[in-house]
Structure 1
Amino acid sequence: MYGGGYIFDEPNKKQLREEEQHDEPEKLAAFEERIAKGEKIEPGDWMPAEYRRQLIRLIEQHAHSEIIGALPEGTWITRAPGFKRKLALIAKVQDEIGHGQLLYNAAETLGKSREAMINDLLSGKSKYSNVFNYPAETWADVAVIGFLIDAAAIVNQVANAKGSYGPYCRALERICYEESFHLKQGHDAFIELATGTPAQRDMLQDALNRWWQPIMHFFGPPDKVSSHSEKLMQWKVKMASNDDMRNQFLDAYVPKVWELGLTLPDPALRKNEATGRWEYTDPDWDEFFRVINGGGPCNAERLQVRKWAEEHGRWVRKALMRPAERKTFPAA
């Protein structure tokens, strides 16, 4: 579901400089020439240390976002209105977990083990998308997530599917196909509430009001303050700037919300027809960084669920990976 347009952690600049000294200039020139030609970089190919590190960070954070992102919607499987929506939500959550596995596989090709990635997630060292640290209070929240947050993720993923690292691009191609169905599911639920009873419509409007700032945060800080840009764009690790992706999302989806007679909680939101860019109130970026760094309303809860799953699934992984050591395991 959820892409990682913004790479959250600042790289260790001293370490970068030391490793870059070992990047042979001739190999670096050949590497950059391949990317300029549109060629894909594969796991066995030579690559600069910074390229490898930034890709690991990007892909594993995307993988974590898929896994954590299934939690808010997963809590609504038993409460979804009607058998059809329950089945659809089960299928969607299964897809998201599958996307996480695809992405962990892609990150492993760069040399970081899945165990290390999971450990970094559980310790708080590795991040995931800010939007999954907010509660899904009503069924309308699920509709907003399925429509607008999935839409934001697709904007990011379609761009990154054209990037330079082969395994990530191939994973994203499959993910984007499945996400297009998730978007249809979310749009259907969104439309039903928007055209339903006054109570349903009010519930949807309330959800929109609460989720708008996290959605605006989704693509990361403005380009003028983002610490990662030119080199990552040159190497096609990032395929579009934060502001460009945010503008693309606003261009495609704000009119769809307004057509339904719903409002968005930003009186300054308008499209400047002269520039083709959307104008809006800058969201609270202090809140964004507070949530990313563990201070959101659901950060602790989300990680606690993952820790519980990791601990209670350990005996299964041990049985699968080291059957010779199997002794006794908990009764089913």
Structure 2
Amino acid sequence: MYGGGYIFDEPNGKQLRDEQLHDEPEKLAAFEERIAKGEKIEPGDWMPTEYRRQLIRLIEQHAHSEIIGALPEGTWITRAPGFKRKLALIAKVQDEIGHGQLLYNAAETLGKSREAMINDLLSGKSKYSNVFNYPAETWADVTVIGFLIDAAAIVNQAANAKGSYGPYCRALDRICYEESFHLKQGHDAFIELATGTPAQREMLQDALNRWWQPIMHFFGPPDKNSQHSQKLMEWRVKMASNDDMRNQFLNAYVPKIWELGLTLPDAALKKNPETDRWDYTDPDWDEFFRVINGGGPCNEERLQVRKWAEEQGRWVRKALMNPAEKRALPVA
């Protein structure tokens, strides 16, 4: 569902320059020539140290976001309105977990083990998307997630599917195909509430008001605050800037929201005819970094659920890795 655009905890400029000094100039030139030609880099190919590290961070954070992102929707499976909605939500949550597995596989080709990635998630060292540290209080929250957050994710993923690292691109091709169905499911539920009873419209408007800032945060800080975007875009690790992706999302989805008679909690939001881009109030970036660094309303809860699942599933992983050993099944 999620992630793919903004890379958290980027190293400082001096560290980037120091690491590039260790890359062999001739190999680096050949690598950048391949990138310029639009060729895909594969796991056995030579690559710069910083390219490998930023890809690991990007793909790992995307994988974590898929897994954590399934939690708020998963809690609504038994409460979804009607059997059809329950079935759709079950299928969607199952898909999101599968996307996480595809992405962990892609990240492992770069040399980091899945166990290390999971440990870094559970310790708080590795990040995931800001939007999954907020509560899903009502069914309208689930519809906003399913429509607008999935839409924002598709903007990221469709761009990065054209990137330079083969395993990630192939994973994203499959993920985007499935996400298109998730988006339709979210849009259908969104429309149903928007055209429903006054109480349903009020519930949807309230959810939209609460989620708008996290959605604007989703693409990451303004480009002027990004230290390494230019080099990462040259290497096709990032395929579009944060501001460009945010503008693409606004261009596609704000009119759809307004057409339904709903409002957005930003009086400055409008299309600028001179620049053909959207003007908007800059969201609170202190809040963004506070959430990313563990201070959001649901950070602790979401990680505790993952820690519980990791502990409860340990015996299964051990049995799979050592099938010859006899182990008694845990007593329920």
Deviations 1:16-64 (A, max 9, x none): 4443222110000000000000000000000000000000000000000
Residue 274 of structure 1: CA displacement?
1.5
Matches of 1:238 and 1:10, distance apart in 2: 13
1:238 and 1:34 mapped to 2: Cα distance? 16
The range that moved more, 102-111 or 3-12, is 3-12
* In structure 1, distance between residues paired with 2:15 and 2:326: 42
Per-residue CA deviation, residues 76-125 of structure 1 (Å, 9 max, x unaligned), is: 00000000000000000000000000000000000000000000000000
Q: Partners of 1:80 and 1:53 in 2: how far apart? A: 40
1:6 aligns with 2:38: no
How far is 1:322 from its partner? 1.2
Say whether the 8 Å CA contact 1:318–1:326 is kept in structure 2: no
1:223–1:19 distance in 2 versus 1, CA, 3 Å: closer
Tell me the CA shift for residue 262 of structure 1. 0.2
* In 2, Cα distance between equivalents of 1:286 and 1:218: 14
Q: Percent identity?
A: 91
Partner of 1:306: 306
In the alignment, what sits opposite 2:144?
Answer: 144
Q: Once superposed, what is the RMSD of the aligned Cα atoms?
A: 1.0
SS state of the match for residue 77, structure 2?
coil
Q: How does 1:1-332 map to 2 (within 5 A)?
A: 1-11=1-11, 16-331=16-331
Contact preservation (8 Å) 1:64, 1:121: yes
8 Å contact kept, 2:12–2:227: no
SS at match of 2:320: helix
Q: C-alpha separation between the residues in 1 aligned to 2:13 and 2:240?
A: 23
Report the Cα distance in structure 2 between the residues aligned to 1:228 and 1:3, rounded to whole angstroms.
Answer: 18
Mapped to 2, the partners of 1:2 and 1:327 lie a distance apart of 37
| Residue pair 1:80, 1:139 contacting (<8 A) in 2 also | yes
| TM-score normalised per structure 1 | 0.98
Check whether the contact 1:4–1:129 (CA below 8 A) recurs between aligned residues.
no
| Secondary structure at 1:278 match in 2 | strand
Report the CA distance between 1:323 and its aligned residue: 2.0
What are the Cα deviations for residues 112-166 of structure 1, in whole angstroms up to 9, with x where unaligned? 0000000000000000000000000000000000000000000000000000000
Aligned residue for 1:325, secondary structure, equals coil
Cα separation, 2, equivalents of 1:12 and 1:57: 15
Residues matched between the structures, number = 332
CA distance in 1, matches of 2:18, 2:28: 15
Shift of 1:3: 1.9
Shift of 1:210: 0.2
Q: Deviations over 1:247-268 (max 9, x none)?
A: 0000000000000000000000
Contact 1:7 1:228 in 2 (8 A): no
Deviates more, 1:226-235 or 1:285-294: 226-235
- 1:14 positional shift: 5.7
Structure 1 residues 11 and 114: CA distance shift in structure 2, 3 A: same
Deviation (angstroms), 1:13 = 5.4
SS at match of 1:238: coil
Q: Alignment partner of 1:324: what SS? A: coil
Q: Deviations over 1:242-299 (max 9, x none)?
A: 0000000000000000000000000000000111110000000000000000000000
Identify which range, 88-97 or 21-30, moves more after superposition. Answer: 21-30
Question: In 2, Cα distance between the equivalents of 1:259 and 1:215?
Answer: 19
Post-superposition offset of 1:329: 2.8
Q: TM-score, normalised by structure 2?
A: 0.98
Where 2:215 maps in the other structure, the secondary structure is helix
Whole-Å separation in 1 of the counterparts to 2:127 and 2:326? 34
Q: What is the alpha-carbon distance in structure 2 between the residues aligned to residue 326 and residue 19 of structure 1? A: 47
* CA shift digits 1:160-190 (9 cap, x unpaired): 0000000000000000000000000000000
How far did residue 226 of structure 1 move?
1.8
Please state how far the C-alpha of 1:325 moved relative to its aligned partner.
3.4
- Report the alpha carbon displacement of residue 15 of structure 1 after superposing the two structures with TM: 5.1
> For 2:39, what is the secondary structure of its paired residue?
coil
**Conservation of the 8 A alpha-carbon contact between 1:216 and 1:283:** yes
**Structure 1 residue 228, shift from structure 2 partner:** 2.7
Moved more, 32-41 or 316-325: 316-325
1:175-224 per-residue CA deviation (whole Å, 9 max, x = no partner) reads 00000000000000000000000000000000000000000000000011
Q: Which runs of 4+ in 1 moved over 6 A?
A: none
Asked whether the 8 Å contact 2:13–2:227 carries over to 1, the reply is no
SS of residue matched to 2:278: strand
CA–CA distance in 2 between the matches of 1:14 and 1:306? 35
5+ residue gaps, structure 2, are: none
